[in-house]
Amino acid sequence: MFRLFQRTRLTAVAASALLLFGAAACGSDEGGDAAAPSADDSPRKGAYPVTLDHKYGATTLKAEPQRIVTVGLSDQDAVLALGKVPVGTTEWFGEFKGAIGPWAEKALGDKPRPTVLHDDGTGPQVEKIASLRPDLILALYSGLTKDQYRTLSKIAPVVAQPKDGPDWGISWQDQTAQVGKALGKSEEAAELVAKTEKHINDAAAAHPEFKGRTAVMATPYEGMYVYGSQDNRSRVLNGLGFQLPAGLDKVVGDAFGANISKERTDLLDTDAAVWIVADPDKDAKKLHANPLYGKLDVVEEGREVMVKESSHFGSAISFVTPLSIPYTVDRLVPMLSAAVDGKTDTKVVHPAS
């Protein structure tokens, strides 16, 4: 599952990924218009003690955490956006120093980078985490098991993924809210969510042609892997006005995504199909060679969006946090607009950065 999930950051969670980096020619800069850390890093008065519910019960924090380790693969962004820097982060995309994406560099500033932890599918590096002396371990965007939770809880208080919904299925809004609560900054977290939602809503308003259209995100992992409604990638599409294809969640089940059978290739015949791939040209040719997929209208009418997983944009599209979303939206929207313009000869251009 972890490798599948790695391809989700690099092809899609458990299948592929989505990245990014900022350049003026591509839209917003590295930090986009995401909020920078507050000048006042102190928690709200009366914020502690605070109790956070999760999949394995409830965790109470008696005081403001000072040494935070993030086991959740994207949890660090909300921590950074709310004014703190984790002492340890878990690597998702290997090319980022400190596991801090380019979209989060502005929030990091000149502060020391976190120590990077690795999870090859066997679970968190317990000894290395213990050596960092954390007073809070965040595992919100994760697939933490009960045994792993118990082990980590012997080191420091742990806030695991939600009890409702699939592993790696927490919405970016809830993730931000939970981090805000843990840091004694619930109001700031709510403001950050509202600002990020506005960025999405403004893009949707500027492109009324998206409303009511169908779209899906997928990756060619062990065939064809699609993301359901409980995945943050799909939630961004929904926020922009798109609908997921009917019957998608029935196929995906109670997970964030799943491989589809040949008989359900029709789920990809949407107004826009966003593919997270290793090589846009080569993978498009491979997909089009599939006799079932290659003959769909989405292919013949040029409505595909190919996102290179190893680009910074490719990473960002899978990360889905208040720091990465503005960067993603500014690059994805022009591609979606080209895909649904009704012209078969319009080329969907991947951003240069």
* Residue 273 reports pLDDT greater than 70: yes
Average pLDDT, the chain: 90
> Cα–Cα distance between 65 and 49 in angstroms, integer?
11
Cα angle: 218, vertex 219, 224; to 5 degrees: 85
pLDDT in tens, 163-192: 999 999 999 999 999 999 999 999 999 999
| Residue 84: predicted pLDDT | 98
Contact between 86 and 79 (Cβ < 8 Å): yes
- What does 242-275 look like in DSSP terms, one character per residue? -BPPTTHHHHHTTSSEEE--GGGGGGG-SSEEEE
Q: Give the predicted TM-score (pTM) of the model.
A: 0.89
Query: Two tokens at 345?
Result: 């000869």
Q: Which residue has the higher pLDDT, 234 or 22?
A: 234
DSSP label of 351:
P
pLDDT at 40: 55
Count the Cβ atoms, other than its own, within 10 Å of residue 288: 15
Structure tokens at 311: 């680009």
Question: Which pLDDT value is given to residue 42?
Answer: 74
Q: How many angstroms separate the Cα of 326 from the Cα of each of 195, 330, 331?
A: 10, 6, 9
Q: Is the pLDDT of residue 24 over 90?
A: no
| Weakest-pLDDT range from 11-25, 113-127, 152-166, 327-341 | 11-25
- Give the pLDDT of residue 127: 97
Residue 348 pLDDT greater than 50, yes or no: yes
pLDDT surpassing 80 at residue 26: no
